[in-house]
Amino acid sequence: MGKHQPYKNINKFLITERSLSYILRPVQTRKSNYPYTYIIENMGSNVAITVDRAWTYGNHLILDFIGHEQFEKAYAKIYEKRTSWKNEFSKNFLMNVDDLIRFAKRDDIIPDDLKPYIQKYKRYIQVEGLVLELEELRKKTQLDEAKTEEYNKYLREKSELINDLGYYLSELNDIRDLIIGNAIKSYYIDLNLQHIAKKYSIFFRGRRKEYIKTLIRRTAEVRFTFEYPVRVPLIKHIKKGDDQLTIIKGVDLESVKVENENIFNVEFNGDSVRVIFNTLLGNLFFHNLLTLNTDWFEEDYLKLNGYASAIYRRFFVTRSGNKVDQLPIKNVVEYFGWSKNSRYPEVIKRAFEDIKNAGLIADYKFNINSGKFSKGYLEVEKTSK
């Protein structure tokens, strides 16, 4: 067993968004246990992750596939510093993250005295839109009796809402974008199921096309509540003559609170699927992906399933993956919450045998010094490829 050298992902095949790869672990439990919450270390603190239904290694892989297709589409014509956030495309996304963060923190920004009026104000916005719509119609043609009655009804309701909201109306108008979610954009990508099945055939081999649809749909349905690490620019203002320039000196991560959000929505049409990132979490994921908060998998990673897939994702790819020398077994145990599971030694051994058989590592060795498995560590020898 030779000394483990820093892990290097030489054969780049599949891109993955780093923050979600680091904080999301597989969750499969009884329906009665959902929503399910687990605690995980992130950015130096213990944070709670809540899912409202099962999240498996397969769900995470389909998210990787979709993200990779989106990444390739976005960067197809970009060659300057493509692998660095310093390219102009990534910089533009970095500079626009403030609106998303501000929207995510809207509950903190909205004053307490305004919060009781939010729902009524949302109705005011709806009624205001209906009134304007009918007024535009009236300019083009004579309203019939039913439409005239509808128009007058909405006018009365608008007047009543203005009276109910009183002097708070102007303050609510000032934060209108936060209330109606104007910071959330809608991005989408059209995918062909046959293309996906062929490109990622190692994973889909032997599985029917309907399985891909089912996996995409189930992935879209999962809702999360957690603190999401989002890539933000480190700004420096400098004076150049009479001008003040804003430059990005680097990047950092800022935790953004996400509550009961899914990552994307889907529309199916035969063999075609449209994946739509039109939620806060979807926008944050999209932002992180295109500002290169990313890692890469080798194609052989698709041979892994279950815990082997999750262990490799967390400990050999994201963040410290390039610096792995010895992996304390307790880190794996704590990550999966296995402290009360007496079978975990066999699960971990099987997972590393699968990782070795997939050709992702050359060898591994368990070092158990104290006699207690959880107090030992793993040495891993990288492959020569």
Alpha carbon distance 1, 20 (integer Å): 33
What are φ and ψ of residue 189, in 5° steps? -140, 135
For CA atoms 56, 307, 347, 51, give the dihedral sign: negative
Provide the terminal-to-terminal Cα distance of the chain, rounded to the nearest Å: 17
Q: How many residues does the chain have?
A: 385
- 79 CA to centre of own chain: 25
Please calculate the CA angle 21-23-24 and round it to the nearest 5 degrees: 70
Alpha carbon distance 325, 128 (integer Å): 62
- Residue 336 makes CB contacts below 8 A (sequence gap 6+) with 25, 307, 310, 344
pLDDT for 140: 84
Alpha carbon distance 305, 185 (integer Å): 34
- 227 CA to centre of own chain: 11
Asked whether the whole model's pTM tops 0.85, one would answer no
pLDDT for 263: 98
- 35: closest CA among 47, 52, 49? 52
DSSP 300: G
Alpha carbon distance 333, 211 (integer Å): 31
Looking at the chain, list the stretches that DSSP marks H as alpha helix, in order from N- to C-terminal side: 18-23, 57-74, 88-95, 97-104, 106-109, 118-140, 145-165, 168-174, 176-180, 193-199, 201-204, 209-221, 280-290, 306-312, 329-336, 344-357
Task: Going from the first residue of the chain to its last (385 residues), give the mean pLDDT of each consecutive group of 10, the final group possibly shorter.
Answer: 43 91 94 94 88 97 97 92 91 91 81 88 91 88 86 93 93 84 87 95 89 96 96 87 82 93 95 94 97 93 96 80 73 89 90 94 85 85 67
pLDDT for 146: 87
Rg (CA), the chain: 25
Alpha carbon distance 176, 186 (integer Å): 19
- DSSP string of 72-117, one letter each residue: HHHTTT--TTTTSTTSHHHHHHHHTHHHHHHHHTHHHHS-TTTGGG
pLDDT for 356: 94
Alpha carbon distance 352, 359 (integer Å): 11
**Structure tokens given for 143:** 């309203």
- 355: closest CA among 320, 325, 315? 315
